[in-house]
Structure 1
Amino acid sequence: MTSSSGPSALSSSAVGSSAVGSSTPRSSSPVWAVPRGTEGIRIMVDGGVARGMTTTECLAGTGLDAADLDDETAQIWAHQEFVVIRNLLGELGDRPGLGAGIGAHSTLGRTGVIGFMMLAGPTVRAALDRAIPYLALSPTHLRFSLEEGSAGATGTGADVDCLLAADDEIPADVRTFVVERDLAGLAAALRGAQIDVGITGLETTLGPESAVILGESWGLTVDEVRPYAERNRLAITRERLDARLPQGDENTAKLFERQCRELLDDRLARVGVAGQVRSRLRHERETWPSMTEVAGELHIDVRTLRRRLAAEGTSFRRLLDEVRHHRALELLALRVPVSEVARELGYSETATFTRTFIRWEGVPPSRARRAGQIERVP
């Protein structure tokens, strides 16, 4: 079930998967554009439960329940994972190391076919080269890319390249958790698969405490870690990047790569462009991108986006209205004051929001809440 609530350059060649849908990966897929499996949420729910939360508390506000987590065919959107993260932070505290501790339970096997493709390599560099275009199929929310050379990077030398992990698409309030979880998770997954990538240094956008904890997950000392960097970078020796993997096999890797491409194409085709746009509009709180911005992030022009949405029987304005309606009902159900609901939805005046809500529901927001009417729209 797909819920409706719903990397750049390797060496010098652009790689990645077109968000709108293409059988040949070219440019990076935004984290919000592709529905994903529930592996990431399951890892976080397990972490929350181990720390005293209930599954219901972890999933509150996601539209998911425990049965969805046990359904291997279920698909969710990035914003639903962010809701789980906010639930964890709200209950357990936004403290350094929480994301890293939960990410430490990641394995390549839990990433599905993309993990098996990486194991088939046949080298570490080849494994990363193949995996990067399809990371939207994995639990990660970071955009990874390989950078030849290592100018200015911590723990580098002439024989070192860097693995970059961009976090600019992650909402600010969950960014620290996601960076910790995904980088510590990558370390754990590679270690569990007995893949030594020879990390010699780490730079991260996070603060000192989180940076040290992440460094420890990669076996680095304090001196080999730099916090408050402009970007997240892992320095890797070229010797390790080009080393053969113990289970490496080129033909097997190609087979898994084809399966990744087919899976990505299938997911994009089933949700359509409207599903991708809807997910983008729900990606961040209190931020409403323009049609031009969304088109750019999908690597198409505005006219193409408008035409494709029309072919699916909708429009950008209609989707924005739908998402705002849904978000208004969510906030009102949480007893958020009407004035704050209006502000989060981007209305400069509460009166304007009230008129819009009457158009949606036939009654003012205050009356809808008192009457329990908000419960009838999921």
Structure 2
Amino acid sequence: MTSPSDSASPVWAVPRGTEGIRIMVDGGVARGMTTRECLAGTGLDPLDLDDETAQIWAHQEFVVIRNLLGRLGDRPGLGAGIGAHSTLGRTGVIGFMMLAGPTVRAALDRAIPYLALSPTHLRFSLDEDAAAGTDPEEAFLVAADDEIPADVRAFVVERDLAGLAAALRGAQIDVGTTGLETTLGPESAVILGEAWGLTADEVRPHAERNRLVITRERLDARLPQGDENTAKLFERQCRDLLDDRVARVGVAGQVRSRLQHERLSWPSMAEVAGELHVDVRTLRRRLAAEGTSFRRVLDEVRHHRALDLLALRVPVAEVARELGYSETATFTRTFTRWEGVPPSRVRRSAETSVD
């Protein structure tokens, strides 16, 4: 079984290109939305999508997804339909590395440690262990979704798995898919299965995890554009790009991204350290070297989120709950320390400006 190495960065810990957002904007515009409606609340300008050097964080993509769901409705098939706009070329250098293969197995093995460079938020792994009761001629491409916020999880599973099907099909890469197990409900599962050319009886909904059943024989199939030397060159570029992005944002940037990753979940320092493959003492030391601390970054993220929510006229008690405060009074005291005025005054100002 192959999986991302212990040193691989979580998909939320690395800034990425705008490919994923561009795919979703294309899908939203095709369904009657404007680009600005898709980007509302992300801090991005439409011109950023034309900048090949622009980088965004995972939580900004989730804002776009919430905009799509809010305008178009959280319904089965929306994510799969938008994922159909994907191509392997839009994944950047990691896509070209896969094209160079030179085999399906080599392409997957090389891509998995660098998923943080791709538009996907699923955590892929290739499982070739033949368990009891399974066909020894089959293997599984597992797509874990446990790192994705619950309110956008179904959309992301649809989008990323349907997008992978579209990208591989466009690149003429056949992984020999014979079945699909997914955490999605029956209607979404059937739609997603269709993206992979599967019939309803080849799809199992409400599974514990997402995984594609593939033929082991196909893993050793040569890819039409495969070349080992070229693949190694692209792999080196992926490694350098990932190292550069991690170095530029620093540990504080990665911690900040994790804290912004979910709206209703505030992970502990120990949890974040574990996800970054370091112990708590090492994380504390690295943050101190950058002139900050876990508590200070958490305070900063809460502060900015509070201002955003109050600007949307969210009730103060609800803001306090979303920020993880057990009592509204505690949040009010903290906010007053941040801004010099209580949150109720900021919220009233937002209501006055709208009126």
In 2, the alpha carbon distance for the partners of 1:33 and 1:221 equals 37
Identity %: 87
Q: Secondary structure at the match of 1:95?
A: coil
Structure 2 residue 163 is matched with structure 1 residue 174: no
SS of alignment partner, residue 261 of structure 2:
coil
User: C-alpha offsets along residues 5-52 of structure 1, whole Å, 9 cap, x if unaligned?
Assistant: xxxx50xxx533xxxxxxxxx444222111111000011011111111
State whether structure 2 residue 313 is matched by structure 1 residue 313: no
State which drifts further: 341-350 or 271-280.
341-350
| Residue number among 325, 330, 340 corresponding to 1:362 in the alignment | 340
Aligned to 2:143: 165
Following superposition of structure 1 onto structure 2, how do residues 222-261 of structure 1 map, counting pairs within 5 Å? Answer: 222-261=200-239
Following superposition, the deviation at residue 152 of structure 1 comes to: 7.0
| C-alpha deviation, 1:150, in angstroms | 4.7
Give the direction of change, closer, same or farther, for the CA distance of 1:59–1:150 in structure 2 (3 Å limit): farther
Is structure 2 residue 103 aligned with structure 1 residue 98? no
- 1:344 aligned to 2:322? yes
Name the SS of the counterpart of 2:214 in structure 1. Answer: strand
2:26 corresponds to 1:46: yes
Q: Which residue of 2 aligns with 1:71?
A: 51
Question: Which letter maps to 1:211?
Answer: A
3-state DSSP of counterpart to 1:200: strand
> What is the CA–CA distance in structure 2 between the aligned matches of 1:326 and 1:291, rounded to whole Å?
19
Whether contact under 8 Å (1:325, 1:357) holds in the other structure is yes
Per the TM alignment, residue 257 of structure 1 is displaced from its structure 2 partner at its CA by: 0.2
Other-structure match for 1:202: 180
Give the gaps of 5 or more residues in structure 1: 1-8, 17-25
CA, structure 1 residues 143+152, in 2 after alignment: closer, same or farther (shift >3 Å)? farther
- Contact 1:163–1:233 (8 Å) recurs in 2: yes
Structure 1 counterpart of 2:259, from 258, 261, 281: 281
Instruction: Say if 1:149 and 1:160, in contact at 8 Å, map to a contact too.
Output: no
Q: Aligned equivalents of 1:105 and 1:157: distance in 2?
A: 33
* Distance change >3 Å, CA 374–CA 267, structure 1 → 2: farther
What's the CA shift string for 1:82-105, capped at 9, x where partnerless?
011011001100000000000011
Change in Cα spacing, 1:152 to 1:175, as seen in structure 2 (3 Å) is: farther
Superposed CA offset, 1:141-200 (max 9, x none): 0000000135378xx622111100000000010000000000000000000001111101
Structure 2 counterpart of 1:112 = 92
Matching residue within 325, 331, 336 for 2:309:
331
Give the drift of 1:372.
Answer: 5.4
Q: Size of the alignment, in residue pairs?
A: 353
User: Which residue identity is paired with 1:58?
Assistant: C
Q: Which amino acid aligns with 1:66?
A: P
CA distance in 1, matches of 2:351, 2:241: 39
Letter aligned with residue 305 of structure 1: L
What secondary structure is seen at the aligned counterpart in 1 of 2:178?
strand
Aligned 8 A contact 1:333 1:374 in 2: no
CA contact (8 A) 1:99 1:181 kept: yes
The one of 8, 31, 46 aligned to 2:11: 31
Partner of 2:278: 300
Gaps of 5+ in 2: none
Instruction: Tell me the secondary structure at the aligned position of residue 264 of structure 1.
Output: helix
Q: After superposition, give the CA deviation of every residue in 1:295-322 in whole Å (9 maximum; x if it has no partner).
A: 0111100000000000000000000000
By how many angstroms is 1:226 displaced? 0.4
CA positional deviation for 1:238: 1.5
Q: Please give the alpha-carbon distance, in whole angstroms, between the structure 2 residues aligned to 1:142 and 1:152.
A: 26
* Paired residue secondary structure (2:96): helix
Once the two structures are superposed, residues 260-297 of structure 1 have per-residue CA deviations (whole angstroms, 9 ceiling, x without a partner) of: 00000000000000000000001111211110111011
Contact 1:59/1:65 (<8 A) preserved: yes
User: Is the helix fraction higher in 1 or 2?
Assistant: 2
Give me the whole-angstrom Cα distance separating, in 2, the residues matched to 1:44 and 1:28.
Answer: 26
The normalised TM-score by structure 1 is 0.91
Tell me what 1:122 maps to.
Answer: 102
Q: Is the 8 A contact 1:31 1:136 kept in 2?
A: yes
Q: Does 1:57 align with 2:37?
A: yes
| Alpha-carbon distance in structure 1 between the residues aligned to 2:130 and 2:207 | 14
Question: Partner residue of 2:168?
Answer: 190
Q: 1:136 aligns with which of 94, 116, 122?
A: 116
* Preserved CA contact (<8 Å) 1:150 1:162: no
TM-score by length of 2: 0.97
